[in-house]
Structure 1
Amino acid sequence: MLKRILVGAVVVVVIILAFKFCEFKKGDDSTLDYNTNLIQQQIVNVGKLVVTEGHFSEVITFKNSNKYFLDMISFEKKAIVIVNAKVTVAYDLHQMKYDIDEKNKTITILSIPKEEIAIYPDIQYYDVEQSKFNEFTGADYNKINKTVKANMAKKVDKSTLKTNAKNRLVSEISKMLILTNSLGWKLQYNGEVIENESQLQQDLKL
């Protein structure tokens, strides 16, 4: 009789422990799912267009001449071109590729999109001089517009606009770093675990 009671008690204890173990495992999975969903939501929030804007100005003198009769006669056209341009540098983070490793609690950034540079020139023409034998044409205006954009692109390269845009990019990605660290996850990029914002700046070659 005593033996049966002891066996019954052991069975009850085993059942209780098994139930507790399953409940514990369920809690772990639930927490992991919650953390994963939270991280995915943060990535969605970060995934936006990060834009830095700048303004540039320049003055161009455009000249062109058509010559006839062994260059004895020429007809010139010229104009002063004043340019005020808005330039934007943007990162579309919706294009960022990443991998979520739930088992090792690691977010790996696979690729970050390149910056997108857009130039919006406002071109004004002054002191325009032309003749019927050498008038301004659509080809001239296209050439001027192309020259303006090329000059503005050089100005952007020499300015701090790209650096400012990358700083804003780092600021957005750092939001992911803060969240992953707070949940006990790791953020990885270029084969390295990102520990802080300074390291992220170095990896992005700022």
Structure 2
Amino acid sequence: MASNKFKIILWSVGILMLIFLGFFLYQLTQSESVNSIMILLMLLLGLILGGVIAFLASKKLVSEPAVITESSHTIAESMRKVFKVVSAEGHFNEIYNYEETTKLFNFIPSKKKALVIVQAKVLVGYDFEKFKWEVDEQNRKVKLLNFPAPEILSTETDYKYYNIEEQFFNLFSKDDLAKVQQNGKQQVIEAAKKSHLPEVAAEQMRTLLTELLAGKNFLLENPAKISETKNLIDYRNMNNSR
């Protein structure tokens, strides 16, 4: 759209120049001096150069499709069987304010800061490999011996930067941005810990186990064992979260 407008302007300018040149030629026909002929040649040369420049400029403004080259190599580090169940999901919007002040030459203060909105989805659940129970086949009962605390199985985060301020001698580096993201993610983890996610996960797991055993005509003898850990949350797997 912008290139079309520019072409119209170029054509308009060209037409005006032709009109001006025609008028000037008419005036020169009234005079046969050498100076008039030289001026005419200079105008013709300028017109030709102007036309060439306008043509090249119009070609530059015509956008060509970008050539994108992509390459990807995926390496699977390890795989293993797991039995983990997500029983609660939480969405968080965390406002994280980062500010760092240093002194240049131990005298001149220099500050950089950023306001980051961290949007995160936190999945909380259980690892069945950590369960311990005993089965009473005769009385059709299952007793929980050990029931682990709920775990944060996954943390998916998205970062939006607002109001980034930095100074010439105190710019944000890649390490600074990585630290900002890590700190913002940690704030989300703390918010998830203080939320009702562990409690929701425990209640969901209690309902799930009760219904599964009931379908096999078994009774969960001590479901309160699940609720004992509802306010605890396991962070050991957080390093594997995104």
Match of 1:61 in 2: 97
Aligned residues: 146
Q: Of 121, 142, 145, which aligns to 1:107? A: 142
TM-superposed CA distance for 1:162, in Å, is 1.2
Say which structure is richer in strand: 1
Does the 8 A contact of 1:62 with 1:78 survive in 2?
yes
Aligned mates of 1:143, 1:83 — CA distance in 2 = 13
CA RMSD of aligned residues (A): 2.6
Match of 2:14 in 1: none
- Deviations 1:128-183 (CA, angstroms, capped at 9, x unpaired): 22234211123322322232223222222332111111111001110244246x4x
Say which structure is richer in helix: 1
Match of 2:186 in 1: 150
Match of 1:116 in 2: 151
Q: Do residues 81 (structure 1) and 116 (structure 2) align? A: yes
- Deviations 1:28-56 (CA, angstroms, capped at 9, x unpaired): xxxxxxxxxxxxxxxxxxx6513311111
- Quick one: which amino acid aligns to residue 115 of structure 1? P
Deviates more, 1:162-171 or 1:134-143: 134-143
Aligned mates of 2:112, 2:142 — CA distance in 1 = 61
Aligned mates of 2:115, 2:219 — CA distance in 1 = 57
Q: Do residues 98 (structure 1) and 133 (structure 2) align? A: yes
Alignment of 1:1-206 (within 5 A): 49-71=85-107, 73-102=108-137, 105-117=140-152, 118-179=154-215, 182=217, 187-189=220-222, 200-201=223-224, 204-205=227-228
- Quick one: which amino acid aligns to residue 206 of structure 2? V
- Deviations 1:7-65 (CA, angstroms, capped at 9, x unpaired): xxxxxxxxxxxxxxxxxxxxxxxxxxxxxxxxxxxxxxxx6513311111122222112
Does the 8 A contact of 1:87 with 1:120 survive in 2?
yes
Give the match's secondary structure for 1:121.
strand
- Deviations 1:95-126 (CA, angstroms, capped at 9, x unpaired): 42333344665433332333111322211112
- Quick one: which amino acid aligns to residue 58 of structure 1? E
Does the 8 A contact of 2:90 with 2:123 survive in 1?
yes
User: Which structure 2 residue ranges, 5 or more long, are not aligned?
Assistant: 1-82, 231-242
TM-score when normalising by structure 1: 0.59
Percent of aligned pairs with the same amino acid? 32
Match of 1:4 in 2: none
Does the 8 A contact of 1:50 with 1:93 survive in 2?
no
- Quick one: which amino acid aligns to residue 109 of structure 2? S
